[in-house]
Structure 1
Amino acid sequence: MYRFSYSEILEDAPEVGRDRERAAFDRALTLLRDVEARGLSGPERTAAVGFVQELWNVLIADLLEPENALPASLRADLVQIGAWTMQEAGEVLRSPERSLAALIEVNTSIRDGLR
């Protein structure tokens, strides 16, 4: 499966790239909210948090590419948010009693910023 880099998508059609990102964040948030609301643990929780981790792995990789057209300061801020998200995701996987609220809040803010 070929993945387009963030900058390639934005060059072709900025609104298409943002729509795809919003859809990925929407999916991540749906999974996280469902797990949190139903108090799920085990495979469901792992899958939801794993989806968020994969999303941020892809985003961070694209943000670190030299040809990424976003301003350097914005890219740096997003990488920091991604690093925090990855750290928090690891913590919620190690502590099943830990709430997903912080992950939901931060990822909702990022998703809303894509509008």
Structure 2
Amino acid sequence: MTLSSYDAVIEDSGREARAREQQALNHGIDLLRRLQAGDLAPPEDAEALLFIRRLWAFFVEDLSSARNGLPEKLRADLISIGLWIIREADRIRQQNSSDVTELVAINVMIRDALA
């Protein structure tokens, strides 16, 4: 394999990873919007929040890895955002808050930035 073909494989795998991340965020955003609209009955409402929480726990773990290729400052910023999302999802799930507007907005921004 030549160096240029290796670079093409690496670039393609990065695009594929971003596409999978976008797809997961799309699913989470859809669940949050359904929760916001009151379209989810218990226990689906809790499952929606647990999904977004687990998704961001996965992202935070990946971002924490030294093998993650993103710049350190960007990784730190995304980890901070991820930890906020996890805490906010927990607050809503524990009924200490009921507004998912900011969760939706932040997840949409992150998803759109992956494009």
Q: TM tier, shorter chain?
A: 0.7 to 0.9
1:2-35 superposed Cα distances (whole Å, 9 cap, x missing partner) = xxxxxxxx66611101100000000000111112
Does structure 2 conserve the Cα–Cα contact (< 8 Å) formed by 1:41 and 1:96? no
What is the root-mean-square deviation of aligned Cα atoms in Å? 1.7
Give the AA of the match of 1:36: Q
1:35-68 superposed Cα distances (whole Å, 9 cap, x missing partner) = 2112545211101000001100110001001111
Partner in structure 1 of residue 46 of structure 2: 46
Partner in structure 2 of residue 68 of structure 1: 68
State which structure, 1 or 2, has the greater radius of gyration over its C-alpha atoms.
2
How far residue 110 of structure 1 moved from its aligned partner, in angstroms, is 0.5
Runs of 4+, deviation exceeding 3 Å: none
1:83-98 map, 5 Å = 83-95=83-95, 98=98
Does structure 1 conserve the Cα–Cα contact (< 8 Å) formed by 2:92 and 2:99? yes
Give the AA of the match of 1:107: N
Partner in structure 2 of residue 108 of structure 1: 108
- Normalization by structure 1: what TM-score? 0.85
The 1-side partners of 2:39 and 2:101 are apart by 12
The 2-side partners of 1:64 and 1:12 are apart by 23
Partner in structure 1 of residue 59 of structure 2: 59
User: Which consecutive unaligned segments of at least 5 residues does structure 1 have?
Assistant: 1-9
Give the number of aligned pairs: 106
- Normalization by structure 2: what TM-score? 0.85
Change beyond 3 A, Cα 1:75–1:52: same
SS in 1 for 2:103: helix
The 1-side partners of 2:51 and 2:40 are apart by 15
